[in-house]
A = this chain, B = another copy of it.
């Protein structure tokens, strides 16, 4: 997708997408007073029973045969890690994984919602590491790092030519360590230098904003340990500002921690009504019932196919127990609960194991199916168009995937390319000419590299314009309608 190339990456987020798709109860027992679901889950946490003699012999024989005979040098630790991986894979469950020490650390940071570093969201733009924004209260913000700053080097090591993940690895470091950043800033002729002491930084997972008509929009990017608290803060703030209705946006939110989403749902689900059901391997069900109360204002939830796990618990609870409408696309469909065993293996590695199913308040298991929106709204097709390969020139009578991309872009920008199936016909040529004229390019009707780049830049602007976010617009519109209908009923 085009959007990704300029989208912001959290310093930690880039590495986490795979492992984060989880619904964790890791920190579960540590939350005092958080009783919901504990019975069904804690009863399931059983210990080790070890290998019997026959099993140990088979594994030992295999290990020995490999080490003794393989044509290249073998790392025994890798074989043992491979064996644990293989056991997990034998379960056929994509959410049960073994993580080596490094992956385990990053996973736990994401669950905690904090990491140690300087605290800046960065993205990669034309091969440069650009600050999207410093995280509130972070060392980067305190030192004066600003949005659009280009990070040239860290402690004398240039970031030039590095992949974003590799650059982020250089910027991050343990609490208390120093990072000296060389920064290029618009308006400064010489690079600036900042000496920053790294610290624990809380990941921002909640973004709130009051739109016109007093409609609040809260975006939740994942359900980390501190997300419920941050959500409550933002909710209180919007309510104090006179919010009359709320859009909760969990699009592309892969999930997180179970008690956190339960706490969040309690803000909206009336006392005594079910938020989620958890079913253990013996089919025992335990219902998490709300101790909260409902809101006087209307609420809708925006979701899409990237809304998984905890996002789906929130959507299901708010739909079935708080009367909220769900808007957008069908959700991802992950109906299981994992816990991670991070001490037992004794070497920093951990096992994340699926220990239960979760069901919506009415007892539906949405695994593999997802939740259907009450109001289905698709994003425009140009939100997910593939970029144009710039090495070829596209012109009349050609037929290719690149032509198709260009047609979708032209169409999205309001030029009429006639068709969007990849065949470059006369109408497409006319549309290209019109675009070139508007963009002050030489009017040829041919898509060369320059035209393609200009077209893509215009498209990215269109994608980033909230006015084009169909789902968000529909959410706000629906809330406005409900506010109106509630006030006319008074």
- Residues of A near any B CB (own CB < 8 A): 44-51, 55-74, 76, 78-91, 93, 96, 98, 280-281, 336-337, 339, 341, 344-347, 351, 353-357, 399-400, 419, 421-423
Contacts and interface: CB of A to CB of B under 8 A. Distances in A.
Contacts of A96: 66, 70
Contact of A49 (B67, B71, B84, B339): B67
A46 B71 CA distance: 12
A335 B357 CA distance: 47
Contacts of A90: 78-79, 81-83, 85
Q: Which applies to chain A's interface (DSSP): helix, strand, loop or mixed?
A: mixed
Nearest to A349: B58
A46 B68 contact: yes
A337 to B, nearest CB: 8
A476 B91 CA distance: 53
Candidate in A86, A345, A357, A421 with the most chain B CB atoms within 10 angstroms: A86
Given A59-B83, A341-B65, A344-B61, A71 B423 contact: no
A394 to B, nearest CB: 13
Contacts of A74: 91
B70 A47 contact: no
Given A59-B51, A85-B86, A70 B399 contact: no
Contact of A71 (B45, B50, B72, B280): B280
A397 to B, nearest CB: 8
A55 B72 contact: no
Given A72-B281, A90-B82, A281-B72, A66 B421 contact: no
A310 to B, nearest CB: 17
